[in-house]
Amino acid sequence: MFKSNLTSILYSIAIIVAAFALGNAIMNRNKPDNVISVTGLGEINFTSDLIVWEGSFARQDLDMKAASAALSADKSAIEKYLIAKGLDKKSLVFSSISVENLVTYRYGTNGEVVGQDFAGYKLTQSVQITSSKIDQVEEVSRNITELINDGIQLNSQAPRYYYTKLADLKLSLVSKATKDARERAEKIAEESGSNIDKLTTAQMGIIQITGQNSGEDYSWGGAYNTSSREKTASITMKLNYKLD
């Protein structure tokens, strides 16, 4: 009887010890690491230092040589006009000429196409300006109607603005975002009575370039505004710190 009772007692103790060990293992497994995760933001306002403007012009005639001669005269007039506005000749790039055969359609009594007739040739060429002289190019884009008034069929596009020092800008953004994240981490640690120890991981976000005060949305793949001369660049840095 004594042996049987002893066996039962030992069995019960074993169950209690096992339950305690299992519970302690679960608690340790679920105990969070002593790590703090913060996200910092870096923002810089800057002014574009390069502008690109494009325009296209066309001539049409029943005779291709006549259309080509007229287009060549337009090209010379456009080039002369742009240089007179203070732009460098080397900043002007004229494209090759594209040729389109024009036709007019003949219709039947039911509105169906029953034939077509040759209506001449349309020759089109474009000019692109890439320059650091942003003020001059903006003025050209605004006053290009002066050429239109001279009989040149010129279609002007809105200027596009770029920045040639993006690599340096990105380094500055990362530095600002990292500093912001660390300051956040130090503040949170201070409030909790801890200190940050060492950086364990760092993850950089996608650079976003938007027009200043434009209200543009960020893009998952990164925004790159080309319509605004004044821009804002931003980036985020997610840092994980060990706490001591």
Digit-by-digit pLDDT tens for the chain (244 residues) are 544 554 554 455 544 444 444 444 333 333 356 889 999 999 999 999 999 999 999 999 999 999 999 999 999 999 999 999 999 999 999 999 999 999 999 998 898 988 999 999 999 999 999 999 999 999 999 988 888 888 898 999 999 999 999 999 999 999 999 999 999 999 998 988 888 888 999 999 999 999 998 888 788 888 999 999 999 999 999 999 998 8
H/E element, 232: strand 230-243
pLDDT value, residue 33: 65
pLDDT value, residue 242: 92
- The residue type found at 2 is F
Partner residues linked to 105 by β-bridges: 116
- The candidate with the shortest Cα–Cα distance to 200, out of 185, 211, 221, 218, is 185
Distances (CA, A) of 45 to 125, 160, 176, 225: 37, 18, 13, 13
- The candidate with the shortest Cα–Cα distance to 162, out of 130, 201, 135, 140, is 130
pTM: 0.78
Distance CA 243, CA 225 (A): 40
Distances (CA, A) of 133 to 48, 97, 126, 187: 11, 27, 20, 46
pLDDT value, residue 209: 95
Write the DSSP symbol of residue 25. H
pLDDT value, residue 214: 81
Q: Which domains does the chain have, with CATH numbers?
A: 33-47+165-243 (3.30.110.170), 51-161 (3.30.70.2970)
pLDDT value, residue 92: 96
Distances (CA, A) of 150 to 37, 59, 145, 146: 65, 14, 9, 7
User: Position of tokens 């793949």?
Assistant: 221
